């Protein structure tokens, strides 16, 4: 039980810290420079009646992507710095202690990751194309 509380505490602190981070304006691409790397997309289909918060686990730290309402589908952008390696997804339903952490999956720029959360988060389906 202490491990779960510690994990939740670290998740809250990391989420607050990342939410407070400020990014400066990024300049446009000048002639002769390389185009910025392309990101990837995440599609989450929530087949539960609960709203589910979706996190991307990077180095063990959760980065919140957003919330998917119950019985709906949502799309999220994955930034290039977060996808050049194996990633794991973490789904945490609002108002429930049940959660799902996916197996690591390799994602390359331009790909789409599809996460289907089954009823009550007992199982999930993960595909990349």
Residue with tokens 């690591």: 104
Asked, for residue 22, whether it belongs to a domain, the answer is no
**80 three-state secondary structure:** helix
For 29-70, write each residue's pLDDT tens digit. Answer: 454 454 456 889 999 999 999 999 999 998 888 999 999 999
Q: What is the pLDDT of residue 4?
A: 56
Asked, for residue 106, whether it belongs to a domain, the answer is yes
What's the rounded mean pLDDT across residues 6-25? 54
Asked, for residue 12, whether it belongs to a domain, the answer is no
**121 three-state secondary structure:** helix
**Full residue range of the structural domain in which residue 65 is found:** 38-128
pLDDT at 19 over 80: no
Query: pTM surpassing 0.75?
Result: no
Q: The domain that contains 99 carries what CATH number? A: 2.60.40.2890
Asked, for residue 27, whether it belongs to a domain, the answer is no
% of residues, the chain, pLDDT over 70: 71
What is the C-alpha to C-alpha distance for residues 8 and 29, in angstroms, rounded to an integer? 40
112: which 2 tokens?
Answer: 């789409």
Asked, for residue 1, whether it belongs to a domain, the answer is no
Asked, for residue 71, whether it belongs to a domain, the answer is yes
Give 78: exposed, middle or buried? Use CB within 10 Å, 0-12, 13-18, 19+. Answer: buried
The H or E element that residue 77 is part of is strand 72-78
Asked, for residue 6, whether it belongs to a domain, the answer is no
Q: What is the pLDDT of residue 92?
A: 96
């Amino acid at each position: 039980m202490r491990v779960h509380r510690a994990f939740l505490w670290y998740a809250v602190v990391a989420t607050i810290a990342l939410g407070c981070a400020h990014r400066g304006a990024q300049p446009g691409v000048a002639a002769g420079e390389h185009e910025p790397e392309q990101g990837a997309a995440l599609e989450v289909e929530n087949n539960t009646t609960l709203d589910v918060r979706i996190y991307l686990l990077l180095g063990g730290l959760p980065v919140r992507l957003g919330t998917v309402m119950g019985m709906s589908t949502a799309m999220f952008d994955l930034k290039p710095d977060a996808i050049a390696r194996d990633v794991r997804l973490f789904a945490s339903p609002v108002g429930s202690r049940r959660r799902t952490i996916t197996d690591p999956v390799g994602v390359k720029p331009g790909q789409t990751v599809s996460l289907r959360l089954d009823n009550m988060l007992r199982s999930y389906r993960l595909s990349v194309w």
